[in-house]
Structure 1
Amino acid sequence: MKILFVCGSIEPGRDGVGDYTMKLAAELSRQGNLCSVVAINDCHVLTEFSGYYNIDSIKMPVLRLPTKWPNKQRYHSASVWIEKQDPDWVSLQFVIYAFRPNGLPFGISTEMNKMLAGRKLHIMFHELWIGIERSRLIKTFITSTVQKGIIKHLLTTIKPSIIHTSLPYFQQRLADLGHHGKLLQVFSNIDRYEKNNKSENSCLFRIGIFSQIEIYSSVVLFLRALKEQADTSGIKFEIFLLGGIEAHMKAKAIQLREQLGDGYNVLVTGYLAPPALSKALHSCTLGLTSVPRHCLGKSGSVAAFIAHGIPVAAPHFLTNQGPYKIGFSSSNLCNAIILEPALEHIYLLKKNILHTANMIEVPAVAKKFISDLKEQYESRTRHSDNHQFIQSIVPAKRIG
């Protein structure tokens, strides 16, 4: 099967959805499909690039079109390139801010329809319109309303054959628009390298926070409770801020120390190459995220911890979603999430989490992706054949 992916940017390590798209395309190619990628609004290039990237030992045809080009020029160049690739399916990896920095890509429906007309279409919604739960700003409300209208118009215009999203919450939002979305798990963008054979240090409890963190009061209270238990048990307690932009993470470390008080060891790694990052993830006793519980399924950071066999604490939740709504459809993945600061439970869960890791790795997600596409195609083919058969046996009405 020939599958062409469309996303915003594919600068390695600088765009989460771009990294996701390239790894998924490479794995699908490894499984026997022919894949290519178009970055339709790439802010990391100044001129058009048409060529090949080597992704996980797979030679991948890619087209990168610079943000500074006018919309019509970018979409025209993409149309010509797509025509040459002639894919069986086009997969749009959608994040609304990928197509315009202000998140209001007016005209996207028309341009996408021209570019993709006549082709079987798939959309993966990594994000929908922004939520207004935590903001009272009129600007946020207006932006959210307009984004919802843009997405609704896009779906009505390009009529995708199949829709995926990563969250049950997003699935419900799509249903409210009258569209059925299937769930497809986000995977870890960080490959799992071989773990050292050294036994785990039982005298050290290390919490890893990967890439980003918001210092909510729920996060602070959770960390304080765990440290108190660790101190009582004579266990050294430290917090590891992994990856991300080093200056930003150092500022967060200062803020975290101020909120937690004295006696907390907060370390910042700065940028880590993939093997070193994988080793650092493995070294953690527990991951921690400030992503709201109902949105955990779209977090690449959460996926990275689970893929490395590390349970994840999620102390933050939105009041209107409740404390027990976890953003996974799989009970096994939900069970990898820590809701309460209990040291014994964390140690027990870590021993039993490894069987869950495979569910959140690229090969399993790629197989589900291709299976859903084939199922949709076969379903539509059967429907078309049945319709033609019925038409052939129903006598035409006489005129007059």
Structure 2
Amino acid sequence: MNIAFLCGCLESGSDGVGDYTRRLAGELTRQGHRVVAIALNDRYASDWARGTHRDRLRKDANVIDGPIVFQGGDDVGLRVLRFHSSLSWGERIGSVREFLRTQSPDVVSLQFVPYSFHPKGIPFRLARRLQSIGGDLRWHLMCHELWVGLGSSPPFRHRLLGAIQRRILASMIARLRPCRVDSHASPYIELLGKFTQHVGRVPLFGNIPVEPQQVPRDDSGPIRFCYFGSVHDGWGIEDAAGLLHRIAAPNGRTPQICAIGSGGAGAAAAWQRFRTAGVPVEEHGRCDEPKVSALLQSCDFGLSASSPDLIEKSGAAAAMFEHGLPVVVTRAPIWGDRFVSHVRQNCPLAVFGDAIDQPMKLERRQPAEHALPEIARRFAASLSTN
């Protein structure tokens, strides 16, 4: 297939959806598809154009003078076209229109997050602008996020902003008439079904490639729980610490957290509260991908502060699942038991609810497995048949 991806930003390591797009596009290229990734609102693009990051380019890359850049992807010659956010939307849309006219893609896949295209998450004119690229284009829409204010009792400002974002998304679907609208999480798929019947699920793959390790199993030391990513407000840390003790105690062992990443502003206080609750924390900070993969494989479980309903869209959880880790989900479901069966089916290594009440029966670490190649094959197959 000939596939064009559209997203906000493609700077490696600086945008989660951009990293997702690069990895998916790169894998599809490896599998023989013709792929280009286009960033429409990339505040890092000017650095590439000035040459600051040209040392990252592969030898076969062709750098065009100005804010538009082609570059080699990771291990493949992925074609990338990037537009700086300071350019007028007229310039960006006009250039994309002309470029896609020369490429004749079979499908244009929009990787959508409201905040990728507007700093406050309200890209009012985006649907109309994209529609103007070409009425004969065949669109696909991948919704990584829908709108804020989902769940129980959100604050008024989130309800108001969420209502605006919902209308923007509805307009996007109505104007582009995508052949398919996908998301990762079961609640999102149900909500999207109110706009179109052509809805599906694309599983999320991890953003850390598996680096096979020979890790001996140690049943005598602490049970290691990996936490990967940022620490957010509202996490019931004392309750989470209690869960970790409940899992470790029947085995005559103690819990220990292996924390990977900067963790954000609240991390230091959170880890100190875990230590006060009797759970030691081993902090590793930012690490390169091979080191992260090795640390994941040194642990017995993953640990997530997400809710079970949304674990399907957690990039950190996806990375832990791929590394064979059962992931202990410490928050209560947002929507009660409504999506529990879907989550258990789609994420069999997610540990939550009554499963924690039987710690001796919990799944143990499984062999690591690359998920991306199969997800890419299924993604391409779904676009070719819809």
Is TM > 0.5 for Structure 1 vs Structure 2? Answer: yes
Residue identity opposite 2:272 in structure 1: R
Query: Would you say the 8 A contact 1:128–1:148 is kept in 2?
Result: yes
Question: Retained in 1: the 8 A contact 2:42–2:83?
Answer: yes
Distance in 2 (CA, whole Å) between partners of 1:219 and 1:178 is 40
> C-alpha distance in 1, partners of 2:196/2:2?
29
Greater fraction helix: 1
Q: In the TM superposition, what whole-angstrom CA distance separates every residue of 1:259-282 from its partner, at most 9, and x where no partner exists?
A: 662533122211111100000111
The match for 2:376 is 366
1:81: which partner in 2? 99
Q: 1:87 & 1:221 partners in 2: Cα distance?
A: 51
Q: 1:287: Cα distance to partner?
A: 0.7
CA distance in 1, matches of 2:303, 2:182: 27
Which whole-Å deviations, capped at 9, do the CAs of 1:38-89 have from their partners, x for residues lacking one? Answer: 011112222513212232x110111111112222222222222222322121
Residue 318 of structure 1 and its aligned partner are, at CA, apart by 4.0
What corresponds to 1:345 in structure 2? 361
Residues of 1 paired with 2:212 and 2:372: CA distance? 17
The aligned runs of 1:1-400 (5 Å cut-off) are: 1-46=1-46, 47=49, 48-55=67-74, 57-200=75-218, 202-214=220-232, 216=234, 218-227=236-245, 230=248, 233-243=251-261, 245=262, 248=264, 251-258=266-273, 261-319=276-334, 321-323=335-337, 325-326=339-340, 328=342, 331=345, 333-339=347-353, 340=356, 342-346=358-362, 349-351=363-365, 353-354=366-367, 358=369, 361-376=371-386
Q: Shift of the alpha carbon at 1:372?
A: 0.7
What is the CA-CA distance between 1:329 and the residue it aligns to?
A: 5.8
TM-score (norm 2): 0.87
Partner of 2:305: helix, strand, or coil? coil
Contact residue 215 and residue 297 of structure 2 kept, 8 A:
no
Contact 2:325–2:349 under 8 Å retained in 1: no
Q: For this pair of structures, how many residues does the alignment match?
A: 365
RMSD between aligned alpha carbons? 2.3
> One-letter code of the match for 1:302?
A
Larger gyration radius, structure 1 or structure 2: 1
SS across alignment from 2:306:
coil
Using the aligned pairs only, state the percent identity: 26
Alignment check: 8 A CA contact 2:321 2:349 kept: no
- Are 1:296 and 1:327, in contact at CA under 8 Å, matched by a contact in 2? no
TM-score, normalised with respect to structure 1: 0.84
What residue number does 1:383 align with?
Answer: none
Helix, strand or coil: the match of 1:11? coil
Q: Aligned partners of 2:93 and 2:382: how far apart in 1?
A: 28
